[in-house]
Amino acid sequence: APVIAQVPAGSATHCPYCALQCGMYVTDGQITPREDIPANAGGLCQKGWTAAELLSSPERLTTPLLHGRPAGWDEALGFVADRIGAVRAEHGPDGVAVFGGGGLTNEKAYQLGKFARVALRTSQIDYNGRFCMSSAAAAANRAFGMDRGLPFPITDIDRADAVLLAGVNVAETMPPFVRHLSEMRAGGGRLIVVDPRLTQTARRADLHLQVTPGTDLALALGLLHIAVADGHADLGYLESRTTGFEAVRTSVSAWWPERVERVTGVPVALMREAVRILGEASRAMVLTGRGAEQHAKGTDTVTAFVNLALALGLPGREGSGYGCVTGQGNGQGGREHGQKADQLPGYRKIDDPAAREHVAAVWGVDPADLPGPGRSAYELLDSLGTPGGPKALLLFGSNPLVSAPRAGHVAERLAGLDLLVVSDFVLSETAAMADVVLPTTQWAEEAGTMTNLEGRVLLRRRAAEPPEGVRTDLEILRGLADRMGCGERFPTDPRTVFDELRAASAGGVADYSGITYERIAAETGVFWPCPATGAGEEPHPGTPRPFLDRFPTPDGRARMIAVEHRPPAEDVDEEFPVYLTSGRVLAHYQSGAQTRRIRPLTQAAPELFVELHPELAERLGVAPGDMVRVRGRRGAAEGVARVNDAIRPDTVFMPFHWEGVNRLTNPALDPVSRMPEFKVCAVAVERLAGE
Ligand code: SF4
């Protein structure tokens, strides 16, 4: 068996979970936080503190499974390679699909994209990040010419005078982030939160704008209307640093505040106060998260918030700006290196001839042999096993049975495949359906780089011994490539892969060519873009604030784009009279495949629940602790009732860390980002008889 790569080892590594990528030491299975990483500066949340339990989990897979029975690596990889060959022979290269994840290291994301396009020559690759922050990425690309979550160091928040969070619940998703908000408020700064729920983050806010689900876009238009009407637009900035303001001003003129109040439910006085706080601040930030982004109009919603930030003159000014609070551990890096259907490494467009030529040269292939763009994540899952769709799927670092919208339908599609291969370190719900399960190493057992929500490239060191029998994803890809006759193109050492990634990214938007493992270790992270410099020249310092002088658009200006509000893809009606919105809880991460295996976390949050307002509960005859069924057009889920007035009376909330809520969510897609509408659909709620 291959030897697991040994470089670089050391106890200083990073958390397995969210995009904050808190620094931690892992020593003999014990975790202590690192002080040297600014994002967490000595803090961790309960997920991070307990992450070492993953390393010794009794549910750990240590041998491949072939149709449910233990098998040797040779047998399992041989079976997969044979089946891939048969599917390709019958259906062509696009008969095989690849699905990646936003938690994979940069090296794995890069290698997965290369494996799909060079070894399999399939266009059918996408990843679960499409379900995460793709709308913010699309909006940032079209406004700024670059998508880097926070285009400033997170510590800039500490010194801001005002921060608006739209659909961001950091108090539960990434608690050490709250320190930065607390620091800001301790210095006199004000916090504004837009959310249909009085979340733990909203409880810390000076203003809470409790929007009706699916109306964030109307709210952003209303805020911009007020900003212009009340004289808060920075006309000098708009003239010198943006284009498109006049069209945007015209489009928001119809969104007078009383109309916005009727649509969103947010009182005019609160909107005016929010704009006054932002408009009078010397340093202010507008930040979006999944609550604003996971809609069939998510790109336009984020664009409206970007327009607000631009009208106030914030992006590209030190201490101010617009940013997206990325969710998954490598949500940022995961979308830069080529596991996305429409991208090549370096955040290059796959249909750009110059990009194809550059990457093909690094890969040693003919640009004409590189496939074109493939299907987006949900479209890919929906096409599996259908006429013209892929018949085999290789899945890495994802659990779509729990995390994809209309999950019952996705389960049917997965069941209809000729071959489902899942690489994971535990038997997730999706792995349990697979023909072949390949057991992998996990976070602290392997080296690699992660790019956190600031665009800071970090080094995850190998800090623990993996159990015997498991392999890294890089080794798995090599094993398959060997059997396909192109193994030498797929090295297994993360540093070697990173060096190739640097070359592939050179000259791209996300240029990593000047970043090395040594520099990351010495500088506790390097911000991209960081191009390589010539021999004898000073190394590029990295770019903490990329927009200070100009935006990376052809004319150097940010583009304001007029957008219009529209209702959710599925609105409430007589049959389904209640909005359902989904989200996260403090104790769990994503589909819960990891955190539902950690005892303190399952004790803290043991089960799926349905949060509903006392008025709605009374109307339905539901008491706290009752089992309720939530039913929609695509399926149903059951959960324990939690009754509180933190939620609007017209809305129920369910976390998506357990199987259930995504049986109900709507796969209506954003036309630009192809993001599904996770955050709003229509349901009926009933108390279960006999309970
Ligand atoms: Fe930090 Fe996120 Fe890990 Fe919590 S889950 S310790 S916030 S990286």
User: Ligand 1, residues 34, 45, 657: which to mutate, most atoms within 8 A of Cβ?
Assistant: 45
Pocket of ligand 1 (CB under 6 A): 15, 17-18, 20-22, 40, 44-45, 47-48, 174-176
CATH number, domain of 481, equals 3.40.50.740
User: Ligand 1, residues 21, 40, 168, 657: which to mutate, most atoms within 8 A of Cβ?
Assistant: 40
Q: What is the pLDDT of residue 5?
A: 39
State how far Cα 524 lies from the chain centre: 23
Q: How far is the CA of 132 from the centre of ligand 1 (A)?
A: 17
Q: What is the pLDDT of residue 674?
A: 97
Residue at 565 is within a domain:
no
Q: How far is the CA of 44 from the centre of ligand 1 (A)?
A: 6
113 and 142 both lie in a single domain: no
Residue at 532 is within a domain:
no
The rounded radius of gyration (Å) of the Cα atoms in the chain is 24
Cβ neighbours of residue 136 closer than 8 Å, sequence gap 6 or more: 147, 149, 288, 293, 298, 302, 324, 326
Q: Which of 9-13, 74-78, 109-113, 500-504 has the lowest average pLDDT?
A: 9-13
CATH number, domain of 139, equals 3.40.228.10
CATH number, domain of 645, equals 2.40.40.20
Residue at 571 is within a domain:
no
201 and 148 both lie in a single domain: yes
User: Ligand 1, residues 14, 21, 22, 179: which to mutate, most atoms within 8 A of Cβ?
Assistant: 22
Q: How far is the CA of 205 from the centre of ligand 1 (A)?
A: 21
DSSP code at position 471: B
Torsion sign, CA atoms 40, 45, 49, 54: negative
Q: How far is the CA of 628 from the centre of ligand 1 (A)?
A: 32
Q: Do the beta carbons of residue 321 and residue 327 sit within 8 Å?
A: no
CA distance 256 to 224: 10
Atom of ligand 1 nearest to the CA of 24: 6
User: Which amino acid, one-letter code, is at 508?
Assistant: G
Residue nearest to atom 6 of ligand 1 (CA): 48
Q: What is the pLDDT of residues 312-369, one digit of tens each?
A: 999 999 999 999 999 999 999 999 999 999 999 999 999 999 999 999 999 999 999 9
363 and 401 both lie in a single domain: yes
Torsion sign, CA atoms 16, 17, 18, 24: negative
pLDDT confidence bin for 9, thresholds 50/70/90: low
Cβ neighbours of residue 314 closer than 8 Å, sequence gap 6 or more: 284, 285, 286, 320, 321, 322
User: Ligand 1, residues 20, 168, 181, 332: which to mutate, most atoms within 8 A of Cβ?
Assistant: 20
319 and 344 both lie in a single domain: no
Atom of ligand 1 nearest to the CA of 14: 8
Q: How far is the CA of 22 from the centre of ligand 1 (A)?
A: 6
CA distance 76 to 98: 18
The pair phi, psi for residue 641, each rounded to 5°, is -75, 130
ipTM: 0.99
Assess whether pLDDT exceeds 90 at residue 7: no
Domain boundary among 302, 324, 346: 324
Indicate the number of domains in the chain. 4
Residue at 506 is within a domain:
no
Residue at 209 is within a domain:
yes
Q: Do the beta carbons of residue 655 and residue 608 sit within 8 Å?
A: yes
Average predicted confidence (pLDDT) for the chain? 95
247 and 396 both lie in a single domain: no
Closest-CA residue to 678 (of 570, 563, 564, 567): 570
19 and 80 both lie in a single domain: no
Q: What is the pLDDT of residues 578-632, one digit of tens each?
A: 999 999 999 999 999 999 999 999 999 999 999 999 999 999 999 999 999 999 9
- Count the Cβ atoms, other than its own, within 10 Å of residue 242: 22
168 and 284 both lie in a single domain: yes
The H or E element spanning position 419 is: strand 419-424
Question: Is the N-terminal amide bond of 529 cis, ω within 30° of 0?
Answer: yes
CA distance 617 to 162: 36
419 and 317 both lie in a single domain: no
Q: What is the pLDDT of residues 120-142, one digit of tens each?
A: 999 999 999 999 989 999 999 99
Q: What is the pLDDT of residues 168-190, one digit of tens each?
A: 999 999 999 999 999 999 999 99
State how far Cα 634 lies from the chain centre: 24
Q: How far is the CA of 446 from the centre of ligand 1 (A)?
A: 19
CA distance 322 to 278: 12
166 and 77 both lie in a single domain: no
Q: How far is the CA of 20 from the centre of ligand 1 (A)?
A: 6
356 and 425 both lie in a single domain: yes
482 and 360 both lie in a single domain: yes
CA distance 569 to 577: 15
Residue at 510 is within a domain:
no
Atom of ligand 1 nearest to the CA of 21: 8
Q: What is the pLDDT of residue 4?
A: 39
100 and 159 both lie in a single domain: no
Full residue range of the structural domain in which residue 37 is found: 12-53
Q: How far is the CA of 46 from the centre of ligand 1 (A)?
A: 8
Residue at 6 is within a domain:
no
Q: What is the pLDDT of residues 79-102, one digit of tens each?
A: 999 999 999 999 999 999 999 999
Q: How far is the CA of 184 from the centre of ligand 1 (A)?
A: 20
Atom of ligand 1 nearest to the CA of 175: 7
What are the distances in angstroms from CA 412 to CA 385, 386, 407, 675?
A: 9, 11, 9, 21
Residue at 548 is within a domain:
no
